[in-house]
A and B are shown apart, each in its own frame.
Chain A
Amino acid sequence: MSSFTGQIAGWMAPAFSPAMTVDSTETIAALVAEYSATLYRVAYSVMRNSAEAEDAVQEAFLRVLKHRDKIGEIRDLRVWLVRITWNVVLDRKRRSKTRPENDDIEDFVRVLPSTDRRADDEIISSQEHARILALIDRLPAKERQALLLSAVEELSTAQIAAALGTTESSVRSRIFRARRELSALLEKEGVSQ
């Protein structure tokens, strides 16, 4: 009976007053302006597709909107947002269950520095990158995640550790192991210049 009364009270109480909506939208707009590019890179490191990475960032901010009442309590917003985005990305990846079939080679070509490079070189480079990324996907999950997050320049080792829920030393050793295993795989695959 009391839970029913509580439910009725919940319906009657204005969960979305106009003032609150405006306020939270402004807060989230500020977060989008400051962190969306970083979060995009975090998402892109796993999704490897521009549109999917953007969708993931969008979903992450929708989750932020859901938990907007907690924003005031968060000490490190960057880590909090990276963590949310990371969970969104892993959820999506798990759901799709397809490894980098959706790698967007055109995106690699687009972000490659075009100065003093011929088109053929760019294509070869992008293919090499795609092969290395495919090998990264074969690494154990913990090593792979640490390595991918280390690629995002804005994130320090401490922030990566916080996002992954581990210690800095653990992150360092995971990255070290990942690079070593990746080199071994490259040697085995014969991907060399």
Chain B
Amino acid sequence: MREDFDEQIDRTLKLLGSATPRAGMEERILRHIRANTSNKATGFFRLPQLALGLAAAGMASALIVVGSVSHSRHILPIAPGLHLPVGVQPGVGAASAAHVASQPVTSLPQDRPRSMRKTQNGRAVISPHAKKPNGVTVPKALPAQN
């Protein structure tokens, strides 16, 4: 009985070990490998271009942002009367982020309001030497009372 089993096992193993592939297997494998190789080659040449393009775009964006921020800092003076409290880092922010000074700003003695020399008794005075179109009469200033 054992011999019969051994024979059966041998026959099955022999059959298994003598399996033959379908015709043209080598060609099919080679075709597959060639296709795979050409795909990889194309992929390689595409990858650096994409990476370089992305890097260039990133650098250009960064330059635009940095340039824009530094330019706006140079041309915009800090508005008088508006002072940022000490310790707050200046930066790009909304207008609502500006803080009004907690104390009133005192003017220096030599400073004057814009209209100081142009008014007398609260009325505007036009200089007689002021340039004016012909035919326009200029009223004389009223004599000062007392």
Contact = CB atoms under 8 A, between A and B. Distances in A.
Given A15-B44, A151-B14, A36 B25 contact: yes
A187 B120 CA distance: 132
Contacts of A18: 41
A186 B22 CA distance: 32
A166 B136 CA distance: 120
A21 B51 contact: no
A193 B4 CA distance: 7
B9 A58 contact: no
B125 interface: no
Interface of B, secondary structure class, is: helix
Interface in B5-51: 5-6, 8-9, 11-22, 25-26, 28-30, 32-34, 36-37, 40-41, 44, 47-48, 51
Nearest to A152: B17
Interface of A, secondary structure class, is: helix
A34 B48 CA distance: 37
B interface, size bucket: 35 or more
B116 interface: no
A111 B20 contact: yes
A interface, size bucket: 35 or more
A71 interface: no
B71 interface: no
A50 B22 contact: yes
- Which of B1, B14, B15, B34 is packed against the most chain A CB atoms within 10 Å? B15
A149 B8 CA distance: 17
A129 B33 contact: no
Contacts of B1: 187, 192
Contact of A186 (B8, B28, B29, B47): B8
Contacts of B17: 41, 45, 151-153
A112 to B, nearest CB: 7
Contact of B33 (A28, A112, A128, A193): A28
A58 B28 contact: yes
A41 B18 CA distance: 7
A132 interface: yes
Nearest to B32: A58
29 contacts: A8-B51, A16-B37, A24-B37, A32-B26, A32-B30, A36-B25, A40-B21, A41-B19, A45-B16, A50-B21, A50-B22, A54-B29, A65-B36, A65-B37, A111-B18, A111-B20, A128-B12, A129-B12, A132-B9, A150-B13, A151-B14, A151-B17, A183-B5, A183-B9, A186-B5, A187-B5, A191-B8, A192-B5, A192-B8
Interface of A: 8, 11-12, 14-16, 18, 21, 24-25, 28-29, 32-33, 36-37, 40-41, 44-45, 50, 53-54, 57-58, 61-62, 65, 107-108, 111-112, 128-129, 132-133, 136, 147-148, 150-153, 179, 182-183, 186-187, 191-193
Given A53-B21, A54-B21, 7 more contacts: A36-B21, A36-B25, A36-B26, A40-B21, A128-B12, A132-B12, A133-B12
9 shortest interchain CB distances as A-B pairs: A151-B17, A151-B13, A183-B5, A44-B19, A132-B12, A40-B21, A16-B41, A151-B16, A11-B48
